[in-house]
Amino acid sequence: MTSIRKGSKEQLVEYFKKNLKKGYTTDSLKWALINQGYSRVIVEESLNEAQKEMAKEAPILKEKPRINYQVLDKGGKPLEIA
C-alpha cells in the first residue's frame, strides 16, 4: 500500500502551474507526484484547480487568427494557383 504524503493542496496547485508554464505535460507531473506517494485524488483535484486558475489568466483573443496557405515549387518559391 502506498503512503499518502502530507502537503497542502495549494502547494500542489502552485507546483502544477509553475511546471505547466515551463512546458511539462500534465501526465508527467501527475505521475511524478503519485509515484512520490501523493494521493491520486488530491493530485487530480490540484491539477484541475491549477488548470482553472491558468485559464482565468489566459488572454482572450479578440479576433480569430488567419491562416494562409502557400504552395511552393521545388526551389521554395510560391506558385500561383488559379
pLDDT digits (tens, 9 = 90+) for 33-73: 999 999 999 999 999 999 999 999 888 878 888 888 889 99
Q: What is the percent of the chain where pLDDT is above 70?
A: 90
Could you give the CA distance from residue 26 to residue 67 in angstroms, rounded to a whole number? 28
Strand, helix or coil at 25? coil
Q: What cell numbers appear for 74 in the block?
A: 521545388
The full set of domain ranges for the chain reads 9-57
User: Which grid cell sits at 30?
Assistant: 501527475
